[in-house]
A = this chain, B = another copy of it.
């Protein structure tokens, strides 16, 4: 209708511009935008709304953040988004945040403590309103920075022991037990484990669950085979190879992550053996790609979306009520039966 400025819209139109055009003050405009703390007459509101529309005004989030100390941004620290599991988790967190009306600034720490700390500080400096930390092993300095942060934080996937922050974890021990028991139920005498270099972090629980299941089943110590290596597909490949050359080759293997399992699958095929006929395999994480491996991978499903929603909800609670942040939530995992354990394959035991 009226002449239009520059090109399209949001270029430097400020509250004051709107106020001028609507013949009122900036305060009133603000009240309209926020359904402000003060009432506004219907006629005035109408004028303001129209001015906003005509000018294509959009509030500046930076200015708003400075004034209100609410940036609408959540900092998310991830170990490695190239890893499918963390990618799913990251995406779920981002989606949950979006639904809660917040933006997400992400940092890939890449298992580097310095980076982790750098990101925590950068997030805090950016006045992130909350932090979501996904990590397998936390840098002490990052933990400290988080503990004394003026905003709530929530650990996902793994929490440092004794943290005052909230945590959302998967039932790793239960999952390890479930996977192992399932293989045992298929008739295997024992089950080997494909684990990481050590049992720190979330996988520790998975290995513990494996051990527990084996103990319950009366498997003697000398039949509890462990093969360890890096948490990558290549690591899984190498570890499985070692297992295949083992004096008495296991007939069933529990890989503590799907990445490891995918590498293992490859190693078995390479050796000319068959899954599950020669070696049954169960993974852990429930990544999407597990459905399309050859054979498809039986795995322990971790409810990434639910964890993400839980994490955001936990931050929400911290913002709303005063509820002190602490509290660890452990979400149940589930067995996703596919071919690699012997369930779907007709010719397997």
- Using CB atoms and an 8 Å cutoff, list the residues of chain A in contact with chain B: 6-12, 58-63, 65-66, 71, 73, 80-82, 84, 87-88, 90-91, 94-95, 98, 103-108, 110, 115, 121-127, 144-145, 147-150, 233, 237, 262-263, 265-266, 269, 288-289, 291-296
Cα distance A237–B289 in the bound complex, in angstroms:
12
Cα distance A238–B149 in the bound complex, in angstroms:
50
Q: Are A103 and B103 CB-contacts (below 8 A) given A81-B87, A263-B292, A292-B262?
A: no
10 sampled A-B residue pairs with Cβ under 8 A: A11-B150, A58-B121, A60-B125, A62-B62, A84-B289, A87-B87, A106-B106, A237-B292, A265-B294, A266-B293
Cα distance A291–B12 in the bound complex, in angstroms:
49
Cα distance A149–B296 in the bound complex, in angstroms:
46
Q: Are A62 and B108 CB-contacts (below 8 A) given A121-B10, A148-B7?
A: no
Cα distance A266–B291 in the bound complex, in angstroms:
9
Q: Closest CB-CB distance, A35 to chain B, in whole Å?
A: 19
What 4 additional pairs, Cβ within 8 angstroms, besides A60-B66, A73-B105?
A61-B126, A61-B127, A81-B87, A266-B294
Contact A88 B98 (CB under 8 A): no
Cα distance A103–B105 in the bound complex, in angstroms:
7
Partner of A10, one of B10, B91, B94, B124: B124
Contact B71 A82 (CB under 8 A): no
Cα distance A292–B241 in the bound complex, in angstroms:
14
Contact B91 A82 (CB under 8 A): yes
Contact A98 B94 (CB under 8 A): no
